[in-house]
Chain A
Amino acid sequence: MTVSDKAEGGRPELIKAVPVRHPGRWVAAAAVAVLAAMLISNLLTSEAYNWSEQWKYFLSPPVLNGVRNTIWLTIAAMIGGIGLGVMLALMRLSSNPLLRGASWLYLWVFRGTPLYTQLLIWGNIGALFPKIGLGIPFGPEFVSFETNALYSAAAAAALGLILNEAAYMAEIVRAGVLAVDPGQQEAAHALGMTSMQTMRRVVLPQAMRVIVPPTGNEAISMLKNTSLVAAIPYLELTFTAQTIYANTYQIIPMLIMACLWYLILSSIMMTGQYYLERHYARGTVGSGGRMGLRARLAARGGGGGQ
């Protein structure tokens, strides 16, 4: 049959076939519907939630103070963790074996021990280092301070979270740097850029595309991990909820209230993450990274995007 033969008959009739049935979907939908109905009925009828008690405390000064502490701890821990993490990653990638070894040791210790235990140690650091001073090891000291005078629960909480987060951020940054095509560094060097210039202008901006999504996840994890600084102890959101229900015995309402606050905060962070990812996708999506969410999802789903 030649092409002209086909054309003669005009456009063929549209196919009207019986679609494949998906009985599994109906079963799953029924199961989900039943579970959802059970949940809703529980939420509406159970006295244990005590919604009015939750609302009473939701915007109360102690809870707002806890929320504020949770927010600043998350921000401080992420900024400090990213800064220290980038440094550790560059040390790990350096050609200096001493720096590489030091970075490796740091990661080994801080990733190999639980955050909760680390926070307990930072809370009791005064017992380990009663005095902090500058001087020659085994020799004379120039200045020294009483640790407990310098140190507050807030500082201990932030320090503990930063030091732990840095270890994880270091690995994320290192993966991002290694993901950049080595040809990029060669091209930058061939143009006369030094290693520092290459890192700052060429490698890190491209590594960001790989670094940002897991960092957003880290930030959201951090929001929740701040609840562990109750170990110090420091009055963040969860610990505040605990102190309230220690008096009122309204355990579940206070914990649910804390969860609602965490959900609000993490939703805000997820929105921020979306815009940040879009910014660092510049040059990789068809229209220079200025596509909307829907267009991006369509491009991804259709396999048309790069």
Chain B
Amino acid sequence: MNELMVQSERVCKNFGHVEVLKGIDLEVRNGEVMCIVGPSGSGKSTFLRCINHLEKVNAGRLWVDGHLVGYRQKGDKLYELREREVASKRRDIGMVFQRFNLFPHMTVLENVMEAPMLVKGEPKAEVRGRAEQLLERVGLRAKMNGYPGQLSGGQQQRVAIARALAMQPKLMLFDEPTSALDPELVGEVLDVMRDLARDGMTMIVVTHEMGFAREVGDSLVFMDDGVVVEKGSPREVLGNPQHERTKAFLSKVL
């Protein structure tokens, strides 16, 4: 097993003329929980999406579990991966979105079972057992025959986490998982994530929840304007920010 789950070297991304990422250098160890904070438009979500190739990196290199993301290197030449190869790399990376993106035409249980059966071709009985366990773990086993539209936002996000976990990923990406939730529902989602971190899951969490970052995060990254401004342990960065931009941002959110 690789010591580093994610390794990012001068990763750049632009949409047309807009430079969103201007050379990101980051490393995430196995079992590490990294929180990324920063103002909106700072590129933190884009970076997260680059990790599972939902966005194509324009320059720099990005490795996940020792594999180059999106390309194959032969000599000093890069070959784009075929769609099937990209898809098979994504199996090992779970992603949770701000707006849940549950499949509304499937029941809660079907949402969780769909990918392991379709993508990995696992037998139904086995997947069902695991799906029920996962729903139990996020506290929604009783709702497994309901449809996502019948659940609250917090419940939907917990199902989305169970759905990602059903693929038994090595790495979980959270893209502002609590930003679309009513304040009283944030806690139940953070509880599930805290539980996951305790189990040793490698996680990268883009968030505005400073309390969660301080308590659960092993490391904290502050991004602004497409660059990593500051990184360190959450206690250092939140308690004693070194950079002016970090101080200005934290003074607004803390």
Contacts and interface: CB of A to CB of B under 8 A. Distances in A.
Interface stretch (A13-21, A269-277, A278-286): A278-286
A194 interface: yes
Interface stretch (A96-104, A147-155, A163-171, A201-209): A201-209
B27 to A, nearest CB: 22
B58 interface: no
A205 B110 CA distance: 14
Contact of B83 (A194, A206, A286): A194
A283 B90 contact: no
Contacts of B161: none
Contact of B115 (A181, A192, A284): A192
Interface residues of A, number: 26
B90 A192 contact: yes
Contacts of B90: 189-192
A193 B118 contact: yes
A53 interface: no
Q: Which of A186, A187, A282 has the most CB of B within 10 A?
A: A187
A289 to B, nearest CB: 8
A288 B105 CA distance: 9
B105 A192 contact: no
B77 to A, nearest CB: 24
Contact of B105 (A194, A195, A283): A283
A195 B119 CA distance: 12
Given A192-B119, A195-B83, A187 B101 contact: yes
Interface string B93-118: 11101010111111100000011001
Contacts of A306: 149
B148 A283 contact: yes
Q: Which of A191, A205, A209, A282 has the most CB of B within 10 A?
A: A191
Contacts, number: 80
A181 B119 contact: no
B101 A283 contact: no
B181 to A, nearest CB: 16
A64 B178 CA distance: 64
A221 interface: no
B97 A286 contact: no
Given A183-B97, A184-B101, A283-B105, A192 B167 contact: yes
Contacts of B115: 191-193
Contacts of B106: 283
Contacts of B148: 283
B147 A191 contact: no
A188 B115 CA distance: 8
Given A197-B119, A205-B105, A192 B147 contact: no
Contacts of B167: 191-192
A102 to B, nearest CB: 22
A187 B99 CA distance: 10
Interface in B27-67: 52, 54
Given A192-B119, A283-B148, A306-B149, A186 B97 contact: yes
B54 A186 contact: yes
A27 to B, nearest CB: 45
B17 interface: no
B97 A187 contact: yes
A190 B105 contact: no
B88 interface: yes
Contacts of B119: 191-193, 197
Contacts of A193: 87, 115, 118-119
Contacts of B164: 190-191
A283 B104 contact: yes
B242 interface: no
Interface in A202-260: 202, 205-206, 209
12 contacts: A181-B101, A184-B101, A184-B103, A186-B97, A187-B95, A187-B101, A190-B93, A190-B94, A191-B114, A191-B164, A192-B119, A209-B105
Interface of B: 52, 54, 83-84, 87-88, 90-91, 93-95, 97, 99, 101-107, 114-115, 118-120, 146-150, 160, 163-164, 167
Which A-B residue pairs are the 5 nearest by beta carbons?
A: A187-B101, A192-B91, A283-B147, A191-B115, A190-B95
